[in-house]
Structure 1
């Protein structure tokens, strides 16, 4: 009886067949990829409200987790805001584990086997991504000329999610063909659907219409695996960080339906989101007009569905539309590739800009999902942060009571994003902006603390800012969510306030 291959071995076997020249680099990248995923997992074990962790005992440079079944898990002191691969091994009852998938399997917690499989895929895909870089994961290539090239610099995926590169259902050949970190050109299938059968919101581009039919851009993975159809006209595009959203050279960004689980979620496009897309886009424009130029929101040009979440697409403008000559629009997740956050002064200036814009919108009644993929910064020719661009309003939260005080209506917005719960509004913004975008840019708790201390000095002391400064920081409990498949919606945890005992 043969034992099944691990994800690492499966990828190696496929890689030897489709791209043998990368095999040695892939093998060399595996230890670093394991450490990168294990570091993300250790953060979750150290801070998330996992029901099988009895208590946590911090020591000098170490952390001990006492599990409810009596076992002991030892590792280094955990910095919840650190992004480098600093955890190379932990010990479970004295046995050392460098492989996060093996650790989760042997923890034997509810729903652990499926999560362990995801972690194995995350390690293997991370090593594959690293192996495909021309000069290491981040640098050596100068500043990009095209917007999609910034997205290709994000090699390791989500900075705090252990499933940062999990792509179940994607073969090695498909990862190489469609993953932005591998820098491919992707040929979108243009599937013709009679216009009478479609729900179309906004102004669907004339180039994507043909004699009474709507041409729906379909990702080739979706066409092959879900729709089971190939052929017809195609549209060349470059994949962005989310993989299912692509940039058409000289044109818009196209979000496609991709009925596969990437990181945490299945990336299809619901009928409701298509129906609400025009209203959300108009709402975003009204919000941006109230930020005194600090932030712009990319506009949705059109959206279409045939009534199925498997065959739908959204066309929106590129964030590059908001760059003046000589400026760059950079996703916050790609800032590490610029080296700019290494300057404390630069990081503090960017933090001030991001907090000012985010808190101003929260005061109006809108909490952005301002993580490093949705939030972009406009850099002037010297590299200074000047303003922000936000894309994808699908997961924001809006408070109608706050909005009404400012004369802003919520007509046409999806009910699922509307709430007057102050806690829900604050944790949406604080968790994504501070616990996500700013923490990832800073790369450590110490750097984040210094940037925040400088940035908040001149900010108005609103109730929202006082809550941010004086309470634990809410963040999504990403590992708990993966281990709770029956739970609906987001699950949340709390991190130590990055300002600690600061007098702010």
Structure 2
């Protein structure tokens, strides 16, 4: 039964464009509500929200005391769990099983806008779960490894919020539905270009900038455009595989999860120099990490019209030897058929590789945002992680001071990419790798603790490793960020470290 505005709107559209999926969609709604409600409850229990004045935990659950005197009660919340376990929360005697309805009832500052996002998240998540199971990915179709994940961010309550996307547009553009997307090409004179923009994307002195069709219709509708290449959407939706040796990151001026996915002029200017620098630096890591190289970027002076071209991650796999490149977000599904002991062993192998690479690179002076979308694993024919690939360097941080300690000159970049604050650098790495990759791979705190204990046992001792093993772990305060009146800033919480409790 559809209860909210987003649910009713989406089902009405689905009745028109794909009526055969309507029953599956309505059937998926209760579990989608529970999945988003579980993520929201995690944020309410573990983030520093100013209108929660006290938290009390007993054997049966957690009670939150609100600033207005009311109380909200729910089950115990494992901050590292990924299963949907919350089916209802009690707000002063009233039971809520829909996250959007709960947010509206809480009546907190900016809660109305966030409730709308949660409504979209539930509705879109239910639609994502109607997608048919993907085929076994083929070496000739490497994008298929990106298209089997339906649920989005494992901890974000806005995991599937896609405002502005109709049911037809989600079916046409979202990777889990495995569409072929026809990009558009905007003709731009006097474009800002970095790197070697390819000849096939030029028209005389003009630059042809690939544009996502959603962007072309909703944001750049008055701009003349021609047809572009057919492409397959990847895990990030706005980044697409055009076949051959090119991935295209497009601007998409809508808020997916937390962020408006445009491409700033700063990003265009710094993309190639950053990629070249990091690619040279990772040669010190003995082949454990490859960079999906950014080789060109172009923009038209607006964050709404820009594109970045990258080499595909799969070029770093030996297909003849049975290797494949898999986004870390897809690893839980890949390891699903394993026996529990084998699954743990493989998770430890991956964690040891990922932590070793990211902490070694951090010691050198580069903090990767190594979550499940940016970080990929090269998996051998036996299903074991052998090397890593990293893509999308837009949100890394570079420490000139740490680089200097290793005799490495700072790259020719400026602005927000540069940061020497040890805490900020550590938060960037641990807050993405543990929360965005290892936590979801583990699925709960005890398993994560076992993985971290085994994976860190023999790593080189550094202050960053010591912090990982002994301190509460940083994680983005995803609910707080969506309720922050300033918006757009990274805000942090500290989660219980499974190595130091229970």
TM above 0.5, yes or no, is yes
Structure 1 SS opposite 2:277? helix
Q: Name the CA shift for 1:252/1:488 in 2 (closer, same or farther; >3 Å).
A: closer
Contact 2:187 2:224 in 1 (8 A): no
Which portions of structure 1, spanning 4 or more consecutive aligned residues, are displaced by more than 4 angstroms?
none
Q: Secondary structure at the match of 1:56?
A: strand
1:32-52 deviation line (CA, Å, top 9, x unaligned): 100110111011011000001
Q: CA RMSD in A?
A: 1.5
CA 1:231 to 1:272, structure 2 compared with 1: closer, same or farther past 3 Å? closer
2:382 is matched with 382
Could you say what secondary structure the match of 1:479 adopts? helix
1-structure distance, mates of 2:82, 2:55:
21
Residue 318 of structure 2 corresponds to residue 319 of structure 1:
no
**Residue 298 (structure 2) aligns with:** 304
Deviates more, 1:102-111 or 1:270-279: 270-279
Show CA shifts across 1:269-313 (max 9, x none): 111111111210111112211111111111111100111111110
Alignment counterpart, residue 208 of structure 1, candidates 193, 198, 201: 201
Q: C-alpha displacement at 1:28, in angstroms? A: 0.3
Q: 1:243 aligns with which of 237, 241, 244?
A: 237
SS at match of 2:326: strand
Which moves more between the two structures, 485-494 or 184-193?
Answer: 485-494
| TM-score of the pair, normalised by structure 2 | 0.95
Which has the larger displacement, 108-117 or 285-294? 285-294
Match of 2:154 among 156, 159, 164: 159
Q: Deviations over 1:41-73 (max 9, x none)?
A: 011011000001111111114111111211111
- TM-score, normalising length: structure 1: 0.95
Counterparts of 1:409 and 1:121, CA distance in 2:
46
Deviates further, 18-27 or 342-351: 342-351
Q: Deviations over 1:199-248 (max 9, x none)?
A: 11101112111222211100001111111146522210001111111001
The residue number in structure 2 matching 1:335 is 331
* Structure 2 unmatched ranges of 5 or more: none
Separation (CA, whole Å) in 1 of partners of 2:230 and 2:245? 11
Secondary structure at the aligned position of 1:320 is classed as helix
1:172 aligns with 2:171: no
How far has the Cα of 1:407 moved from its partner? Answer: 1.8
Deviations 1:397-449 (A, max 9, x none): 11111111112222322321211111101111010001221101111111111
Aligned-partner Cα distance in 2 for 1:80–1:65: 16
| Equivalent runs, 1:405-416 vs 2, <5 Å | 405-416=405-416
Query: Which segment is superposed worse, 427-436 or 336-345?
Result: 336-345
Shift, 1:144, TM fit: 4.0
Could you tell me how far 1:323 is from its partner in structure 2?
Answer: 0.4
| Alignment partner, residue 473 of structure 2 | 473
* Correspondence for 1:348: 348
**SS of residue paired to 1:165:** coil
Q: CA deviation at 1:125?
A: 0.2
Q: Is contact 1:44–1:477 with CA below 8 Å preserved after alignment?
A: yes
Closer, same or farther: CA 339–144 of 1 in aligned 2, 3 Å: farther
**1:59-98 equivalences in 2 (<5 Å):** 59-98=58-97
- SS of 2:226's partner is coil
- How many residues are matched? 492
The answer (yes or no) to whether the contact 1:126–1:156 under 8 Å persists in 2 is yes
Question: 1:186 aligns to what?
Answer: 181
